[in-house]
Amino acid sequence: MNSILPVDIGSRREMLWDDYLLDTSRTSAERKLHQPRIEEIALVHDAPWEGDGCNSHSIIKDGDLYRMYYLGWQMLDESVTKHSTGQTVICYAESRDGLHWKKPSLGICEFDGNADTNIILDENNSDRKDMMYVFIDPNPACPADEKYKAISKDTENYLACYVSDDGIHFRKGWQMTNQGRFDTQNIAMWVPEIDAYMAYIRDYHERPSVYGSGAVGNERIRDVRWMTSPDFKSWTEPCPLDFGGGEDYPLYVNAVQRYYRAPHQFIGFPSRYVERKEWTPNYDQLAGADLRRKITGVHPRYGLTTTDCVFMTSRDGKNWQRYDEAFIRPGIERVNNWVYGDCFVAPAMIETGSALENAPDELSLFCYENHWRMIPARLRRYTIRVDGFASLHAGYAEKSVITKPLVFDGQSLEINFSTSARGSLYVIMHGPDKVLYSCELFGDTLSRKVPLDGDIADLAGKEVILEFIMRDADLYSFRFVP
C-alpha cells in the first residue's frame, strides 16, 4: 500500500497538534492555535505571609482532592526602592472541584508567632525556597514515605528534592543537580515508557546580540533544558530543548506536563521573556506607569520586561513543536498587567463544568496576576476546550487532512471536531482492499462517532490511511474505540 512504515496507534487518542501522523505533502488544512478564555479569580493571596510574589502554583489531583502549593513572599519593601527582607514560604490550598479553593489552618509553621497558617515550609524547617514544584510519584519502586516529591532551588544554587508521605509534611531529601540556573519553577515527572524520571529546568545560553545594523557582543538567553534520572538522585547533563531551528528567543517558566487524555504527548506553556532595552514613551502610557517607573529604579528590567506564554508539544520530551504566536497574551491594559510575571501558567489542567447548560466539561488553567505590584497576588482561572489547544482548520474553502499509514485497534472511530452550520467534515478510510466513506458530519462535540458505510473492525490491525475533507471546520483529535 505504501513504502512508508505504518504508525501503530492502537486505540490511543491522537492529538493533531504536530505533524507526526500527517502526510504533510497532501494535507492542505492549516494548523490553528486557540487561546483560552479568561474567567474569574480563583484565589486571592491576601494573608500577611503571602504578598505580591505569590507564584509558581503547583496543582495535583490526589484521589478526589486537588492540592495546590505555591510560593509566598513580598518582592519589594513599602518604599518600592529595594527588595523586601521578608522570608519566603511555601503555602498550601485545596479544593474538591478545582473551582473553589480554601487555605486550611495547618499549624505547621508560625508567622509572627501565629500558627494559624497554611504554611507548610518556611526558613525554620527548610532552606530558602524558590518556586517549588510538587508531584505524586507513580514509580512502582518509589518508597512510601517519598510518594510526594517536590523540587526547589536551594540557597547554594542547586536543585534540591523534598519528600513527603502525606503531601503536607515535607522534609528535605537530597541535592539533584547543580548544572543550571534554577530561579524559576522547575518540573519533574516519572515517565514509565523510558523507566526513568524527566526534569525540565532553567538555564542560559549565549548568542550574538544584534541591535541596529550589526552584532554587538553576546547576550545571555534564558532557556529550558531536559535531563533524566533512573532514581531521582543521579541526573544526566541537562540538554536544551530542540525546537527544530525555530527562533531563539528567551523562555522562562516551562510548565511542562503530560497531557492527561493522551499521556504519550507532552505539552508545555513556556513563558516568553521580552526585555526591552530602554524606557520609551510607550511605557508612559501603559497602565500603572508610575509604579512601573519606581520598580525600574530597583532594577531596570523589573519595569522594562514583559512576558506572555506560548504553547509547545512533544512526543519524546526532547524534540518540540513550538507555536510562536502567543497562547496567552497579557490582555487588555489594566492597572496591574503588562508586567514581568504575566501569563505564567501553572502546570495543571482540571476538567471543570461549563457555564453553559448541558455543555461538556472544559479545561481549566490557572495564571497568577498582580505580580510585584505592592498588592496581594491573585490566581485567575482560564478555560479552553478539551483537546482544544490547537486544531487542523479549514476556512470556507474545502481543505483536506491526510494521515500517514496507520495501524489501529478498535471497532469505531470517534472525533473531536467543530463546524459551522454551513460547514462540514467527511471521513474516508483507505484500507488495503476496501475504502469506507462517512456521511456528512457537522456539529460541535468532543466525541462524535463516525458513521461509515462498512465495518471498521474488519480493518483493525491492517494498514489504513485516514482522509478528512473539511469546510469551515476544526479537527482537534481522533481515537479508535475498542
Q: Can you tell me the distance from the alpha carbon of 35 to that of 385, in angstroms, rounded to the nearest whole number?
A: 10
CA angle 277, 279, 284 (to 5 degrees): 150
Note if the pTM is more than 0.85.
Answer: yes
Please report, as a single letter, which amino acid is at residue 69: Y
Beta partners for 223?
Answer: 203
94, 101 contact by CB (below 8 A): yes
Q: Give yes or no for a contact between 464 and 458, defined as CB atoms under 8 angstroms apart.
A: no
pLDDT in tens, the chain (482 residues): 456 789 999 999 999 999 999 999 999 999 999 999 999 999 999 999 999 989 999 999 999 999 999 999 998 888 888 888 788 899 999 999 999 999 999 999 999 999 999 999 998 766 666 789 999 999 999 999 999 999 999 888 899 999 999 999 999 999 999 999 998 999 999 999 999 999 999 999 988 776 554 555 668 899 999 999 999 999 999 999 999 999 999 999 999 999 999 999 999 999 999 999 899 999 999 989 999 999 999 999 999 999 999 999 999 999 999 999 999 999 999 999 999 999 999 999 999 999 999 999 999 999 999 998 999 999 999 999 999 999 999 999 999 999 999 999 999 999 999 999 999 999 999 999 999 999 999 999 999 999 999 999 999 999 999 999 999 999 999 999 99
C-alpha span between 395 and 29 (Å, rounded):
9
Tell me how far apart the alpha carbons of residues 153 and 170 are, in angstroms, rounded to a whole number.
15
402 vs 338: CA distance, rounded Å: 41
Residues 89 and 111: their CA atoms lie apart, in Å, by 10
Contact predicate 308/272, CB 8 Å:
yes
User: What domains sit in the chain, N to C, each tagged with a CATH number?
Assistant: 7-34+391-481 (2.60.120.260), 37-384 (2.115.10.20)
Phi, psi for 295 (deg, rounded to 5): -65, -35
Give the DSSP letter string of 180-237.
S--SS--EEEEEGGGTEEEEEEEEEEEEEEEETTEEEEEEEEEEEEEEEESSSSS-PP
